[in-house]
Structure 1
Amino acid sequence: MAPINKAASLPSARAHPLTIETTEYPTAGNGEVVVKVAATAVNPMDWYIQIMGEKLFSWLKYPYIGGSDVAGTVTEVGPNVNNVKVGDRVLGLAAGFAPRAGGFQNYVVLEAGIVAPIPADLDFTEASVIPLGISTAACGLYQKNFLALDYPSVTPKPNGKTILIWAGSSSVGTNAIQLAAASGYEVFTTASSKNFDYCKSIGASRVFDYHSETITQDLLEAFKGKQCAGGYAIQLGSEKIVFEVVAKSQGAKFVACAMQPNDVPEGISAKMVFGSTLKDNEVGPIIFQQYLPAALAQKKWQPLPKPLVAGHGLEKVQDAIDKGKSGEVSAQKLVITL
Structure 2
Amino acid sequence: MPSNHAAQLPTKLARSLVVSEAPYPTPSKGQIVIRNAAVAINPIDWLIQSRGDLVFPWLKYSSTLGFDAAGEVVEVGEEVTRFKVGDRVLGLCRGTEKDENDSSQGAFQHYTVLRENWVSHIRAPDMSFVQGATLPLGVAAASAALFDSSYLGLDLPTVPARPSTGKTVLIWGGSSSVGCCAIQLAVAAGYEVFTTASPKNHDLVRRLGASRVWDYNNSAIVDEIAEGLKGKVVAGAVAIGPGSGNKCMCVLEKAPKGANKFVAMATLPMPDSEPTRMGMVSSAASYLTKTATYGARSMMNGIKWNYVSMDGMAGAGLNKQVFVDFLPKALESGSFVPSPEPLVVGHGLEKIQEAFELQKKGVSAQKIVVTL
What SS does the aligned partner of 2:63 have?
Answer: coil
Give the deviation of 1:208 after TM superposition: 0.8
Q: Name the aligned partner's letter for residue 72 of structure 1.
A: G
Give the deviation of 1:277 after TM superposition: 4.1
Counterpart position of 1:113? 117
Kindly tell me the number of residue pairs found equivalent between the two proteins.
336
Q: Is the 2:152–2:264 Cα contact (8 Å) retained in structure 1?
A: yes
Answering whether residue 105 of structure 2 is matched by residue 101 of structure 1, we say yes
What SS does the aligned partner of 2:322 have?
Answer: helix
Counterpart position of 1:9? 8
Answering whether residue 150 of structure 2 is matched by residue 142 of structure 1, we say no
Distance in 2 between residues matched to 1:86 and 1:281, nearest whole Å? 29
What SS does the aligned partner of 2:154 have?
Answer: coil
Q: TM-score, normalised by structure 1?
A: 0.96
Structure 2: unaligned runs, 5 residues or longer = 97-101, 270-290
Q: Is the 1:231–1:255 Cα contact (8 Å) retained in structure 2?
A: yes
What SS does the aligned partner of 2:314 have?
Answer: helix
Counterpart position of 1:228? 234
Answering whether residue 170 of structure 2 is matched by residue 164 of structure 1, we say yes
Counterpart position of 1:318? 353
Q: Is the 1:135–1:276 Cα contact (8 Å) retained in structure 2?
A: no
What SS does the aligned partner of 1:46 have?
Answer: helix
What SS does the aligned partner of 1:322 have?
Answer: helix
Superposition pairs for residues 231-270 of structure 1, below 5 Å? Answer: 231-250=237-256, 251-258=259-266, 259=268, 261=291, 262-263=294-295, 264-266=297-299, 267-270=302-305
What SS does the aligned partner of 1:265 have?
Answer: helix
Q: Name the aligned partner's letter for residue 265 of structure 1.
A: S
CA RMSD after TM alignment = 1.3
Q: TM-score, normalised by structure 2?
A: 0.88
Among candidates 218, 221, 225, match of residue 224 of structure 2: 218
Q: Is the 1:200–1:207 Cα contact (8 Å) retained in structure 2?
A: yes
Identity %: 46
Distance in 1 between residues matched to 2:91 and 2:54, nearest whole Å? 28
Q: Is the 1:161–1:185 Cα contact (8 Å) retained in structure 2?
A: yes
Superposition pairs for residues 290-301 of structure 1, below 5 Å? Answer: 290-301=325-336
The runs of at least 4 aligned residues of structure 1 exceeding 4 Å deviation read none
Q: Is the 2:298–2:305 Cα contact (8 Å) retained in structure 1?
A: no
Q: Is the 2:65–2:95 Cα contact (8 Å) retained in structure 1?
A: no
Q: Which string of whole-angstrom CA distances, capped at 9 and with x for unpartnered residues, describes residues 173-213 of structure 1?
A: 11000100111100000111111111111110000111111
Distance in 2 between residues matched to 1:132 and 1:150, nearest whole Å? 20
Q: Which string of whole-angstrom CA distances, capped at 9 and with x for unpartnered residues, describes residues 32-81 of structure 1?
A: 11111110001001111111122332222111111100000111111222
Superposition pairs for residues 173-212 of structure 1, below 5 Å? Answer: 173-212=179-218
Answering whether residue 21 of structure 2 is matched by residue 29 of structure 1, we say no
Distance in 2 between residues matched to 1:68 and 1:141, nearest whole Å? 20
Counterpart position of 2:52? 53
Structure 1: unaligned runs, 5 residues or longer = none
Counterpart position of 2:74? 75
